[in-house]
A and B are shown apart, each in its own frame.
Chain A
Amino acid sequence: MEREVLIKKWLSNNLNSQEFQAFKQLEDFNELTRLNAALQDFKPQELESDIELERLNIALKTKSKKQNNWLKPFMRIAAILAICIGSYYYTTTLNTNIATEFAQKENIVLPDDSQVKLNAKSTLAFNKKSWEDARNLDLNGEAYFKVAKGSKFTVHTTAGNISVLGTEFNINNRNNLFEVICYEGSVKVEHNKTSRILKPGESFLILDNKLVERPKTDDTSPFWINNESSFKSMPYAQVIAEFERQYNVTFSVNNIDINEVFSGSFAHNNLDIALQAITIPLNLAYTKNNNKISLKRE
C-alpha cells in the first residue's frame, strides 16, 4: 500500500525529499525510471505556437474575406441610402393635391405667386419640384386663375389643355360642360382637335360636346369668387348642379325640362333667397326637406 502511494506521488511530481528516498528504495525503482525515460520519446513534435498562430491568423483573414463580413454593414448602409433616396425621390415627385368639398372655396398661391381660387367640389394638383421648369396643373372642377408673368402656364383638364403666359381666366370643367373665360391677357384653349386663342372678355364654351358661341363679357372676374353664381343662357341642369355643389343639397325634379335655358344668379350665403332666385324666374315651386329639395311646376 505504501508503495502505491509513493508511486502515485511520483506520478504527480509530488514527492518530497524524504519520500523520494523511500521511493528510491523500491525494488522496481530502476524499471520505473527506465520506463519513464523511454516514455519521453513518445512526445509529439512540439507545437510551435507562434508560427501556428500566424498561420491561423492568415487563415482567418482569408476566410473572413470570403465570408464577406464587410458586406453586412455595407448592405445596411446601402439599404438606408436606398430608403433615403427613394423617399426623397418619392416626396419630391409627389404632386401637391388640393381638393374642396361641398360649399367650400379655397385660395391657393402657387410657387411663382400665381393665384388660384378653387370653387366647390373641385381638385387641383401640381408639382412643387418641377414648377420652375414647367408650370403645369391638373384641374378637375372650376377654378379662377391669376397667372404671374413667366414661362408657359398650362392647365390640364379632362376636356382639354389651357395654356397662357400671364393672365386672368376662369376654367369650368364639369359634367357635359367645359367653359373657359379670359379676363386679362390672352388664353390658348385646346379642346379635342380645335384650338382657340381667347382675348379679354371672350369665352369658350362646350355644352354637351357642342361648341356654343357667346358674346363678349365686360366682367373683370367670375361672379363665384364673390360668392355668387351667375348664368347666362345656361341649361337648367347646370344651374342645379352648381347649386348642389354650393349648398350641399340634392334636387329632385318633377315635370321640369332641365334643358330649359336659364339666365340669372344666386348667392352662396342664403339658401332660401338663392332657391327663390333660381325658381321664381321659371315659375317653379320648391319644397325643402333637410338636404333634399324637390322642384315642381306651379
Chain B
Amino acid sequence: MDKDLYKNICEQSRFEVFYKKHSKNLHDFLYYKFGERLSPQDKTQEAFIKLWENCKKITPGKAKSYLYTTANNLMLNEVAHQKVVLKHTKIERTNYSNESPEFLMEEDEYRKKLEKAIANLTEPQRIAFLMNRTEGKRFKEIAEILDISTKAVEKRIYGALKKLRKEIDGI
C-alpha cells in the first residue's frame, strides 16, 4: 500500500499520476467482471470523477479501494447483475487466412466452446484468470488490485484453468 505522503490527491498532477496508474486496471477489471455491455470505459470515467469530487475526504491510501468500490457500485446500480458473456474482439482475422476450411471451422468451434467455458467460470475466477492470461499480470499484481492474498489469486486462476480444460478438452 502506498504511504500517505499527502493528505489527499486533490492536486491535479497527483491525480493524473493516480489516474495513469489505475485507470487501465480498473477498466480491465470492470470489463472482465461485467462485460462490455455496460461500458466499462464510461464507468471508469465516472468513478474517477466521483473520486475527484470527494478527493478532500479520501486519503491516498483509501483512494484505490474507493475507486473500485465506486466503479463496482456504478455498474451494479445500472442493471441487475446478469450472466456475462465475453466475446472475441477480433472477428475479422479469418479474412486473410489461407487455412483449410476444416481447420477454420474447427477454430471457430473451439472459440465458441471457450466462450461458453469462460461464461461458466465463477466471477472471481474469471476476473483473476483473464487478468493473468490476457494482461499477463503476475499473481502478486492481481492480488494487489483485488485486495486479496496471492495464494487466493493462485487458487482462483488454477481453478479456472482446470475448469476450462475440463469443458474444452474433457480432462
Contact = CB atoms under 8 A, between A and B. Distances in A.
Most chain A Cβ neighbours within 10 Å, of B32, B45, B118: B45
A64 to B, nearest CB: 8
Interface string B132-171: 1111101100000000000000100110010011001101
B70 interface: no
B27 A41 contact: no
A31 B130 CA distance: 17
Contacts of A40: 133-134
Contact of A52 (B45, B52, B136): B45
Give chain B's interface residue range (CB within 8 Å of chain A): 35 or more
B120 interface: no
Interface stretch (B1-9, B58-66, B75-83, B86-94): B86-94
Contacts, number: 94
A75 interface: no
A12 B161 CA distance: 12
A175 B53 CA distance: 71
B52 A43 contact: no
B36 interface: yes
Task: Tell which of A4, A43, A44, A49 has the most Cβ of chain B within 10 Å.
Answer: A44
A52 B47 CA distance: 13
Interface of B: 16, 19-20, 23-24, 27-28, 31-32, 36, 40-41, 44-45, 48-49, 52-53, 86, 88-90, 110-111, 114, 118, 130, 132-136, 138-139, 154, 157-158, 161, 164-165, 168-169, 171
Interface of A: 4, 7-8, 11-14, 28, 31-32, 34-36, 38-45, 47, 49, 52-53, 55-56, 59-60, 63, 67
